[in-house]
Amino acid sequence: MRTSNGPGVDLNENPVNSTNDARHASNASDPLTQSQAEFWYLVECQGCKELAHSLKMVHDLALYHSDIPFDTAEKSALFDLKALWEGFEKMGAKV
């Protein structure tokens, strides 16, 4: 995807996130590390729907209520934030 002022934030065009798929993810059969287990505990305590809502608010505040110009790194971070909140929404819908 291209924007009117140059390259967009398409997964294939984003140099900040060089890995564009889940092939780099850990093997599902591997046990969780201590930090991964702590993260999942926090997700479960907070709730997927609540975390998704919070991340969406932060995304929207940064994107729609800020006068700060975004370069590639910021656009990539906002895209990552969107992917994370959408993932939490999917997790919350399955619970």
Element (H, E) at 92: helix 72-94
Please, are residues 95 and 44 in contact by the beta-carbon 8 Å criterion? no
Q: Amino acid identity of 55?
A: L
Residue 62 pLDDT more than 50? yes
CA 95 to chain centre: 20
Q: The whole model's pTM is what? A: 0.61
In angstroms, the CA 69 to CA 76 distance is 13
State residue 38's pLDDT score.
94
In angstroms, the CA 48 to CA 89 distance is 6
Q: How sure is the predictor about 6, in pLDDT bands with cuts at 50, 70 and 90?
A: low
Q: Mean pLDDT over residues 38-47, rounded?
A: 90
Residue 11 pLDDT more than 50? no
Residue 64 pLDDT more than 80? yes
DSSP 89: H
Residue 59 pLDDT more than 50? yes
In angstroms, the CA 92 to CA 50 distance is 9
Percent of the chain with pLDDT over 70: 69
